[in-house]
Structure 1
Amino acid sequence: MEERPGGYEVSNIVLYNKGGTKQLSEDDIKALHCSECSLLLREPYQLLNCGHRICRSCLLETVLKKNNPVCPEDKEPVTKNDVRPDKGCAKEINSLTAACGGSENGCTWRGTVAEAEIHVESCVYIVVPCPQGCGQRLSRNELSNHIQNDCQNKPDASQLIATLMQKLNQLETKFQVTVGSLQKEITNLKLQVKEVPQLKAKINDLTEELTKFNKVTQESLIAADSGRRFTGLDDDGRGGDPGYGSGNFVRGQMPSMASSSSSGGFSSAYTGSSSMPSSYSSGDEELRATVHKLQKDVDLIKPVLQDYQSQIAGYLEVVQTVQESVTRHAVLMEEVKLRQDILDVKTTNGVFIWKIPEIARRYADAQQRRTLSLYSPPFHTSPHGYRMCIRAYLNGDGSGKGTHISVFFVLMKSEHDNLLSWPFKSPVTFQLLNLSNSGNNVTETFMPDLQSPSFQQPKSEMNIASGFPRFAKQSYLKDPNFTKGDAIFIRCKIDLSSIDSKLE
């Protein structure tokens, strides 16, 4: 990601502890603020002389560039040798759960502090001042209607279009920068992950080598012990029980063997003769030296093995982090794209055709549970009518999970709801468009259940979705009759005949 100056701006973020169970107090947040920029610390460094913390960019770009650097809080002198990265503080900040400040208006997003900084820049639920300078503060999704109808400094149509185009261009630029940075980050992490098999191979080699060393060591110790028993030597090289070695032979057996031997070799071993004990004592020492050397080699190998085991554990954590990061970034990219789509689309006649591009990738994301569902941009039955959207599960939901595409109708809260008749009564028709000449669309229609909360006046941003878990077979996602240019088209039509024309 591109490096940003200063700390994290958290005015539109609600911070929770790790796990998201407890909201941080003002004192908790203040303890994590930068002494220079007063924002939440980004890449924190600690000033060793006084203990205060400061962002890396604030330290390098502001504090240390002064002629006589001092701590921004207590004015203690600061040099490059008096600072160090505060990894503990960084870990604490990275573990925090951040919720969108637009949660009171319906936003349910949660993520890390770094992700929240990107999210709030485009979230339509964040409250912002009117850009026309009238003094009103509204959520972004209310700005368009406010500027067109209620703003005291309402611009003319050409100025409004120019403003919207400028915002769209800014959002598109941010989206492209975000995507490029994420792709670069993912590529770097994938290169690190590629090292994991090599480390596993090294671990296996070292484990095999250590096993061989242990086996040889054990055999050598057994051989040494056998030498002591055969020569009648104790561990210190002195003779044991004459004639009976270590006492492992039956009394009377070895003397008879010795007396029957023509060479007298056995007899000397058991009658105190020094020639045989001396010879075997030398061999015993060689075995001891060999065993000692092998044991030293084993002792040298063990720390190396432990180090590699530690490294492999670290890389496995990296793999897990990469997978989680890819999932979060994929969702984030979908969200930014949706914000762009919302600016592009304005349908007010109750008929909406939703193009879902990159269908192969999105279908794979759904199967891998990276993105469970997709939302269409909102559309309306009229300029001041019902507001709604489509929700699609490409890998299915409920009874259609894994086999069918699930499609649902979602009523959304709007500023004109109090003018409309409730519950919502109009029949809703969905079609998966057949793009060939045959024209055999997949079509399903339902009548609203007037008792269901799905069709009552919305109290939150969206009502509970209602529709078809088994709308269309997933095989259609690969059927050239329904997929063109890696995209499918879902048409939603609202029957307007049952809507009061006075309200429309």
Structure 2
Amino acid sequence: MDALDVQADAALEAMADTGSAAEGATSPTGVAVSSPSLSKTPHNPSNSSPSDSSSEIKQIPVLQTGYPKEIAEKEVEEKFLCGYCKNILREPMQSECGHRFCNCCRQKMLQLPQPFTCQACVEEDLEAESCVLSLEGMFEDKAAIREMKKIKVKCINPGCTWTGLFHDYITKHEKTCDKKMLACSLCGSVMSQNRLANHQSKHCPKRLITCQYCQQQMLQEQEEKHRMTCPLVPVKCDRCSTSVPRNELKNHQERDCIHRDVICPVPDCHKKMPKEQFSSHLNESPKMVQKHLLYLFDRIAQLEQELTNVKMQPPPETRQSEQGVAASAEGGGARSQQDGADGSQGAVGGAESAAVPESQASATLKLHEDLMSVLHGEILRCIRQVEVLMAGRARETTAVRDLSGKVENLQRLLGTVDMRLNEIQPGRLPISTAEVGTLVECADGIATWCIPQFSQVRREAVNSPNVYRDSPPFTTGSMGYKMKIRIFADGDGSAKGKAMSVYLHLLPGPCDDLLPWPFQADVHFVLIDQKDFKNHKSGSIRSPITEQSCRQPSATSAQPGFGLEALVTLLEMGSELSRYNLKDVLYLRVLVDLKQSKLPARLKTLDPRLNSTGFRQADGATYRK
């Protein structure tokens, strides 16, 4: 192990012991790591074992170094590489010996045992004293910063095709690239930046959610366990299959379930049965009916007698007062007259205290009457509101019925209009919602399609269902074939995500019955070089006359197309972006060569001067025989 590795290991142990955080750091491959949970756990080498090596790696903070050399399109000069991490300089600093280092590497070296030697000086066989680095004497290397701005670089994030200058990469693209790999701050899962927000809001097992029943907050991974114990989660009664909250299930099974078991209260019966069979149990026989009715009458009489006894008994406070009066009366004969007077006053006080509960009962009764009056008024108000709502609902139902009738009438009218349009234009097709751009040139089998805002078309092809776009329809001549161009900005079939695909689709035209079928021609696709008009991307194909795509199209079914799966690769589009995609506009030209087809001969047969036997041609004029 060389001195550089020993120093790096020492830096790792020093940062692990001090508990330095790794949140927001960037790995040498450009992957940003944000894991607060890891930084809180200190690394203890004495407790580790070979089987725990994977967990140890997760706990060591990821140190920031220079930019990876893979971002450069060409080999980077040695002077732009850090003398410590050997990567492209990040915030270049120059030492007194003339070598350059990253500012972040300088911070690491300050934490290592001093003095620190410059490895570049050691490789140059300089004296030991000259190899010692003065870390405090390093200064910002503005010359290197200016020179590095012009280095051509590319993004190495998976799926990103960005290219540009080093200055634009470090100031803009490195931070905003949607393909940048980031770690979820909640669960630590690594994914691209454009997926991180959706992951944290919908899929992360560590995100906070709220129980829809008890409104308790918890981690998403604890939801299933919580549902097993939540008191408000609906559960089904195993007897009647009714859903009730878990904390009310026992009460439901004992009091409300229609299938619960009941015991007949008649002393001579005590038969146990489901509740729904109790009514039939009472009507089993006339003797059984008589027996249960007699028991019911006796029970009602008993309850009435108990109620009468309760009403006749004075309240507990009154009984206590009467007992106090009796005790004072018994002691009056043994006491003096003054004591007797006091006893009589006590008796009067007892009578007053006996009257207190009666007044309290009256006040309670009055309060209940007031409450009943208020409740009665509220019930009447609710009834009036319900009546108003019912009347409004009736009016809305009538309005909806009228509008539904109008919609049906409009649909019938639209159907009639469509039928009339089909009678006028039998070959009419609906306008495609995928059409984009305009035809800037269309004549004699040559059409030039202008596609504006191509970057938006490409984004929709990658991220939305609109994977293709169509050109406006055009014809190869006054009596030619009708067709359109279809482009897949992100590729089609085996070229998906690799190249741009173009196809030609035949459409129903007004002269299809006069044209030869299957369609036969040589088709040439040309992606125009807008910069110097020299490096056009072109591809050719001969129409596959044996396939469905070259047969006469039908107005009732979609016609497949034919063309090139890979006209130009996406890598070429990325490296030559300003050549073919100038100002976010593409020009695609299609040339349909009908020389090898039977169309010229078919068009000649339409001339009556060549077919009719009643005419002759001489001296450039036509005469009747």
The interval holding the TM-score normalised by the smaller chain is: 0.3 to 0.5
Please tell me whether Structure 1 or Structure 2 has the larger radius of gyration of its CA atoms: 2
- TM-score of the superposed pair, with normalisation by structure 2: 0.29
Higher normalized contact order (CA 8 Å, seq sep 6+, divided by chain length): 1
